[in-house]
Amino acid sequence: MLRTSASRVLDDSDREEALAILDADPVANVFVASRVRSVGLHPARLGGQMWGFGPRGAMTALCYAGANLVPVNAGPEAVHAFADRARRQGRRCSSIVGPAQAVIPMWELLEPHWGPARAVRWSQPVMAISTPPRVPPDPAVRRVRPEEFDILLPACVAMFTEEVGVSPDVGDGGALYRSRVAELIRIGRSYARIEGDTVVFKAEIGAVTPQACQIQGVWVHPDLRGRGYAVAGMAAVVEHALACFAPLVTLYVNDFNLPARAVYRKVGFEEVGTFTSVLF
């Protein structure tokens, strides 16, 4: 039986205190911090609940409970509190993701009630760069235009399916995923090298705060891999990200994806932490 500890559902009155916790580690917390800065803490706007651990004015940890379950600055007591709330609520998320030191013990507590997971990515290096890329950027990588949505979407679906192991079309027919792809294009955070109707390379900047931004969805057309498009393409995205969005660029990658890790190191990324993802 999980221990019951003090956790509560936050609201907009907790915004500044929550942001103080999130900003203490802008790399690890960029996804959650981006959500809070964009829409606040009201569940209807946030797309889920934000749980807090500790009394008002002395909170020490958070947990975003939406499409993903994401612990933030969660030590052992907070992990128990959040796992207890998650167990009682029932699984509503498609994944648990975040720092390994919080996600692994949280999953150990939840697995008897939620398991089995479809997959567990135990070690995902978190990488970051704050200096210009070490290699020349691909001048053909640019922001995707709205009229190119139909060209980009199949590449996004292929990337998601390859990375996650299931198609984003499962469930709602892909409506939510298509909406997100379109949104990132609309706000200028989708980048690609497109030749005719072929997406050669693509990546998105999925989360942005004043301190950091996170690259996601990196993909090279399977027929064109091994030709340097990923290195030059990532260099271009990093250059744009540093110039337009934040002074620090981050991402995380599966430890077994050695080619991708090598690409990121060539660009100048360094490993700064470890995530774990539990996929349902």
Output the CA torsion sign for 166, 167, 168, 172.
negative
pLDDT band at 213 (very low <50, low <70, confident <90, very high): very high
Predicted confidence (pLDDT) per residue in 23-34, tens digit = 999 999 999 999
Predicted confidence (pLDDT) per residue in 6-28, tens digit = 799 999 999 999 999 999 999 99
User: 């995380």: which residue's tokens?
Assistant: 252
Contacts 24+ apart (CB under 8 A), 141-144: 141/191, 141/192, 141/193, 141/201, 141/232, 141/233, 141/236, 141/237, 142/191, 142/192, 142/193, 143/185, 143/188, 143/190, 143/191, 143/240, 144/185, 144/190, 144/191, 144/192, 144/194, 144/202
Reported as half-sphere exposure (CB side, CA atoms, 13 A), residue 55 has a value of 0
Which pLDDT belongs to residue 200? 98
State the chain's mean pLDDT as an integer: 95
Residues 6+ apart with CB under 8 A from 250: 27, 30, 126, 127, 128, 129, 212, 213, 214, 215, 272
pLDDT band at 173 (very low <50, low <70, confident <90, very high): confident
Distance of CA 37 to the CA centre of its chain: 15
Which pLDDT belongs to residue 149? 97
Predicted confidence (pLDDT) per residue in 60-111, tens digit = 999 999 999 999 999 999 999 999 999 999 999 999 999 999 999 999 999 9
pTM of the model: 0.92
Contacts 24+ apart (CB under 8 A), 178-184: 178/153, 181/149, 181/152, 181/153, 181/156, 182/146, 182/149
Predicted confidence (pLDDT) per residue in 129-141, tens digit = 999 999 999 999 9
